[in-house]
Amino acid sequence: MSAEPSTGGLTEYIQHHLTHNTALLGDKGVHWDSILVSFLLGALFAGWLFFRARKATSGVPSKGQAFVELIVEFVDGQVKDVFHGDRRFIAPLALTIFMWVFLMNAMDLLPLDLIGYGVQKLAGHETAHHTYWRMVPSADVNTTFAMSITVFFLVIFYSIKAKGGWGFTKELFTAPFHAHGTVAKIVLAIPNFFLNLVEYLSKPVSLAMRLFGNMYAGELVFMLIAGLMSMWSLGAVAGSFGFGMGVLINAGWSIFHILIIGLQAFIFMVLTVVYISMAHEHH
């Protein structure tokens, strides 16, 4: 669905679609669109797996069951290659991350004006114009940081579980530069702690910003293409040319973006498993 013409042109259109549906919770703004879409997609994914699990048979699987088994075996294989401990929690966690991030990313393939169009049909054009709703939760830095911070706490938890509270604390001050002798250990304690702190904090930041940056950029490209498809104000010839080019470019970018959607979900999943696996290792 292409952009609707407005007095502000393409700039106003992009600003409109980059604005979150925000409500105040105390003195903080809450992005209800990101929260609601995320939870609905999570519930959809959980319900789909629950339904397939209830309908699963030991004989020849149906197409739906075969598809679910393919995804589960793929994720479990990736976890097995990276994590060599007990996978009873890590494998379901990886599956949840992969499917949830994939579904959130896939919202980028929906028409930009889908929500506004629905409100327009129900309440009129003017109301639709002022309806703010972003459909891609992973293009919201708050969503990606919420997920990456959760991974960060899991890394800390598994580090303490594998090494103990004293072992984890000791490693912060004695690795990666190991020293012999009391004086050398004291001298290297601060550099070791600083390097470990940077390493731990860089993990959630890199996870969050990588996913956010790729999905935000992809969403912005779709908005620019939608602006190209709405060049009717330049005349019939230019408008028809712009619309035709917009359709072709949108189709090409959508096909390419499918690869980005899957790749970003895969990267987030694999890095999560890698970070947790590293937490089990002793320096």
Q: Is 110 helix (H, G, I), strand (E, B) or coil?
A: coil
**β 22-25/28-31 pair status:** antiparallel
Q: Per the residue annotation, which of 52, 87, 142, 210 is the catalytic one? A: 210
Is 6 one of the catalytic residues?
no
Q: How far apart are CA 217 and CA 213, in angstroms?
A: 6
* C-alpha span between 258 and 270 (Å, rounded): 18
21 is catalytic: no
Of 206, 230, 250, 277, the active-site residue reads 206
Q: Which residue, chain included where needed, has tokens 């209800």?
A: 32
CA distance 222 to 219: 5
What are the Cα distances from residue 272, in Å, to 61, 127, 147, 208, 240? 31, 42, 10, 11, 47
In angstroms, the CA 50 to CA 54 distance is: 6
Amino acid at 114: L
Side-chain-side CA neighbours of residue 79 (13 Å) = 24
DSSP, res 130 = T
Catalytic residue check, 105: no
Q: Which of 2, 159, 214, 230 is catalytic?
A: 214
Question: Which residues participate in catalysis according to the annotation?
Answer: 206, 210, 214
